[in-house]
C-alpha cells in the first residue's frame, strides 16, 4: 500500500515542542486524508527528547525514531531520515514549531502541479533582526552565484518527490544548499511563501558563524558542481595565468638586471607578491582537494545510529 507522505524532522534538544508538533501534523494530515509517517532523527539530544520520542512511538506506530550516538548536525540527520522514507512525497520540517504543518496540503498541491522540490519561503520571518539581515545577504549571494532564483534557500520546510531525496547527497552543512544541489541534478525546483512562527521553546542551534561557514560551503558546492570531474580546467588555467605572469616578471627583471644593471635587491615587493600568490594558491587548492576527498568518502554514511524504533 502506498503512503502519501513521509515527514522527516531533525531534532536536537527540542523536548518541549515535540508532542505539539506531532499533534499539529496529525491534525492536518487526518483532516486532508493524507496517509503519513513521521521520522524523527534525534541528533544526539542531551535533554529528554529521545525518551519522549520513544513514548510517542509506543503510542503511535506511524512515528519512527532514529537516534544518533552523538550530535552529527542537521545535514546528517536529514540524510539519515531520507534513507528510510516510505512515502511518495517527503516533507522536511524543523522540530521547533517555527514551521507550520498547516502548509502541508498547499505544498503538496504545488508539488503535484509538476515540481520535484517545493521550498518554503519565510516571507515574513519571525526571527531577530541579527539573523534576518545576514540571511537576506546570504540568500542574495547564493542566488546570484548558483543562478537559482529562490528567496530562501535554507528554509526548514520543504516538500520533495521521493526520487529527489534518494539522489541528493548532503553532509556537513550542505543542507543549506539543497535547492542548488537538487537543481544541478536536473530536478525542477520552485518555492512557495509559508507561514513562519517565533521559536517558543529551547534555543536556536546556529549562531553568526553559520554565515561564514555558509560562504565556504558555497565555494565548495560551486566547485564540486562544476569541476569535480575536471579539476585541471580550474587549477590548470589559474596555474597557467599565474605561471606566465610570474615568468614575465622574473624574465623582465632578469633582462633589466643584465642590460640596465638594476639590482634585484632593490625590489623587495617582488618577494612578498610572489610569496602571497603562492601561499594563497596552495591553501586554496589544498582546501578544495580536501573537499573532493571528503565528497568521495562520504558516499558512505558519515553518521552513526544507536537505535532505530519502527525500522
Ligand atoms: N538541528 C539538528 N542538529 C543540529 C542543529 C539543529 O538536528 O546540530 C535541528 C533543530 O533541532 C531544528 C532544526 O535543526 O529542528 C533547525 O535548527 P534551529 O531551529 O536551531 O535553526 P534556526 O531556526 O535558528 O535557523
Ligand atoms: Mg528554528
Segment 173-206, tens digit of pLDDT: 899 999 999 999 899 999 999 999 999 999 998 8
**Low-confidence winner among 118-127, 260-269, 281-290, 297-306 (lowest mean pLDDT):** 297-306
Residue 233 has pLDDT above 90, yes or no: no
Edge-to-edge order in the sheet of strand 36-42: 189-194, 117-122, 158-161, 87-92, 3-11, 36-42, 63-68, 305-309
Contact between 162 and 85 under an 8 Å Cβ cutoff? The reply is: yes
Gap between the Cα atoms of 294 and 234, Å rounded: 19
Residue 221 has pLDDT above 90, yes or no: no
Atom of ligand 1 nearest to the CA of 154: 25
| β partners of residue 54 | none
CB atoms within 10 A of CB 278: 12
Distance 192 CA to ligand 1 centre (A): 21
Nearest CA to ligand 1 atom 8: 73
Contact residues for 49 (Cβ-Cβ < 8 A; gap 6+): 11, 12, 13, 14, 15, 18, 42
Backbone torsion region of residue 195, taken as left when φ is above 0, otherwise alpha when ψ lies between -120 and 50, otherwise beta = beta
Ligand nearest to the CA of 42: 1
Orientation angle between helical segments 129-146 and 209-227, nearest 10 degrees: 10
- For the Cβ of 155 lying below 6 angstroms from any atom of ligand 1, the answer is no
Cell numbers found for residue 16: 518541549
Candidate of 8, 9, 10, 93 to mutate for ligand 1, largest count of ligand atoms within 8 Å of Cβ: 10
- For the Cβ of 96 lying below 6 angstroms from any atom of ligand 1, the answer is yes
Gap between the Cα atoms of 82 and 228, Å rounded: 24
Atom of ligand 1 nearest to the CA of 203: 20
Most confident of 45-54, 256-265, 284-293: 45-54
| CATH code for the structural domain at 3-227 | 3.90.550.10
Ligand nearest to the CA of 94: 1
Q: What pTM did the predictor assign?
A: 0.86
The pLDDT mean for the chain works out to 90
Gap between the Cα atoms of 24 and 279, Å rounded: 54
- For the Cβ of 95 lying below 6 angstroms from any atom of ligand 1, the answer is yes
More confident residue, 198 or 242: 198
Residue 269 has pLDDT above 70, yes or no: no
What pLDDT does residue 275 have?
77
What pLDDT does residue 299 have?
61
Gap between the Cα atoms of 306 and 295, Å rounded: 24
Atom of ligand 1 nearest to the CA of 94: 15
Strands (E), the chain: 3-11, 36-42, 63-68, 87-92, 117-122, 158-161, 189-194, 305-309
What pLDDT does residue 298 have?
59
Gap between the Cα atoms of 167 and 178, Å rounded: 11
Cell numbers found for residue 31: 483532516
Residue with cell 603562492: 278
Q: Tell me the mean pLDDT in the region 46-70.
A: 97
- For the Cβ of 201 lying below 6 angstroms from any atom of ligand 1, the answer is no
Task: Count how many Cα atoms sit within 13 Å of the Cα of residue 191 in the half-sphere of its side chain.
Answer: 20
Distance 62 CA to ligand 1 centre (A): 23
Ligand nearest to the CA of 176: 1
Q: pLDDT grade, residue 116 (50/70/90)?
A: very high
**Low-confidence winner among 54-63, 135-144, 152-161, 221-230 (lowest mean pLDDT):** 221-230
Distance 11 CA to ligand 2 centre (A): 11
| β partners of residue 79 | none
What pLDDT does residue 123 have?
94
Ligand nearest to the CA of 14: 1
Distance 281 CA to ligand 1 centre (A): 35
Atom of ligand 1 nearest to the CA of 210: 25
Nearest CA to ligand 1 atom 17: 205
Contact between 80 and 66 under an 8 Å Cβ cutoff? The reply is: yes
Cell numbers found for residue 295: 565528497
Distance 85 CA to ligand 2 centre (A): 23
Candidate of 7, 9, 12 to mutate for ligand 1, largest count of ligand atoms within 8 Å of Cβ: 12
Nearest CA to ligand 1 atom 24: 204
Cell numbers found for residue 4: 502519501
Residue 171 has pLDDT above 80, yes or no: yes
- For the Cβ of 267 lying below 6 angstroms from any atom of ligand 1, the answer is no
Contact residues for 98 (Cβ-Cβ < 8 A; gap 6+): 126, 156, 196, 197, 198, 199
- For the Cβ of 156 lying below 6 angstroms from any atom of ligand 1, the answer is yes
Amino acid at each position: 500500500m502506498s503512503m502519501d507522505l513521509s515527514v522527516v524532522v531533525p531534532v536536537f534538544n527540542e523536548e518541549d515542542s515535540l508532542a505539539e508538533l506531532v499533534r499539529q501534523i496529525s491534525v492536518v494530515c487526518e483532516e486532508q486524508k493524507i496517509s503519513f509517517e513521521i521520522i524523527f532523527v534525534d541528533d544526539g539530544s542531551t535533554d529528554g527528547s529521545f525518551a519522549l520520542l520513544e513514548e510517542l512511538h509506543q503510542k503511535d506506530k506511524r512515528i519512527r525514531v532514529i537516534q544518533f550516538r552523538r550530535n552529527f548536525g542537521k545535514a546528517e540527520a536529514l540524510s539519515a531520515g531520507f534513507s528510510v522514507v516510505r512515502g511518495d512525497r517527503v516533507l522536511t520540517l524543523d522540530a521547533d514549531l517555527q514551521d507550520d504543518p498547516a502548509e502541508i496540503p498547499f505544498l503538496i498541491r504545488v508539488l503535484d502541479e509538476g515540481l520535484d522540490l517545493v521550498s518554503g519561503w519565510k516571507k515574513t520571518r519571525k526571527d531577530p533582526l541579527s539573523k534576518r539581515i545576514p540571511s537576506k545577504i546570504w540568500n542574495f549571494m547564493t542566488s546570484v552565484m548558483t543562478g537559482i532564483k529562490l528567496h530562501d534557500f535554507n528554509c526548514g520546510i520543504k516538500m520533495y518527490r521521493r526520487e529527489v531525496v534518494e539522489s541528493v547527497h548532503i553532509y556537513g552543512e550542505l543542507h543549506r544548499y539543497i535547492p542548488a544541489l537538487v537543481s544541478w541534478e536536473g530536478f525542477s525546483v520552485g518555492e512557495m511563501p509559508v507561514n513562519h512562527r517565533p521559536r517558543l521553546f529551547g534555543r536556536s542551534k546556529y549562531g553568526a558563524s553559520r554565515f561564514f561557514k555558509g560562504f565556504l560551503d558555497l565555494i565548495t558546492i560551486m566547485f564540486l558542481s562544476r569541476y569535480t570531474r575536471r579539476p585541471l580546467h580550474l587549477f590548470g588555467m589559474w596555474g597557467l595565468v599565474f605561471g606566465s605572469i610570474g615568468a614575465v616578471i622574473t624574465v623582465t627583471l632578469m633582462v633589466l638586471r643584465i642590460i640596465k644593471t638594476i639590482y634585484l635587491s632593490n625590489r623587495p615587493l617582488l618577494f612578498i607578491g610572489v610569496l602571497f600568490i603562492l601561499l594563497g594558491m596552495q591553501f586554496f587548492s589544498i582546501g578544495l582537494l580536501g573537499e573532493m576527498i571528503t565528497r568521495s568518502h562520504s558516499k558512505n554514511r558519515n553518521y552513526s545510529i544507536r537505535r532505530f524504533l519502527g525500522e
